[in-house]
Structure 1
Amino acid sequence: MAWVPGFVEFSVDLKKQNYFEGNIQITRVNEVVFHGVVTEGDENKPVAGALVKVFACIDNNQELPLSHSISGHDGHYLLYINKDSLPDGTTAIIVRASAGNPDSE
């Protein structure tokens, strides 16, 4: 069981607020949720637009793709997988990220 963010609900018009105040609505999901930040270099700079892929590792180190997402402008990504889509015999879940334009090399 996991909870994922939904939206912010404001009880007072934003223009009438002296500070940011709102209730974050969340949604309960019966799925595996992955969240992280794609970074690069010693400075851990966030990477926007990185392709993030999730794989199930099964027998003989075979990897089956489960889902993918793109990191946002701040490097963050969020994706989830229906538990029923995990194959029997899954021994590990692998998350990989790649970024950059391979044609520019």
Structure 2
Amino acid sequence: MFIGNNEYALTASVFGRRGRLDGGELCIYITQAQSRLALLWLAAQAIMGRLELKQNLRIMRVTKAEIRSRASRLLVALDGEIAVLRSPLCYRSRPGALRVFIAPMQEDDE
């Protein structure tokens, strides 16, 4: 399972890009692939444009989600960092919650 901020493109020319970041939705991708090799093969199929969405990947668009598991603790990757979190995992979209500060341009940068 992968949960991302808004929808990611799954076609070869723009694979992994998002049309927008402020759409206010979470996009959940669920696959039956269990091994790293199976996930790598799924990504390769997507990049080559041969991914069968209905067969290989289920996609849901939501504003919030609660992920429950039989396990009390889950290994979760958060922006590349690995953490152990308690189940259930609760996700929600918070449009506009992230502030971005940009340093003023200096004369050398122009």
TM-score, length of structure 2 as denominator length: 0.20
Select the structure that is richer in helix: 2
Pick the structure with greater CA Rg: 1
Select the structure that is richer in strand: 1
TM-score, length of structure 1 as denominator length: 0.21
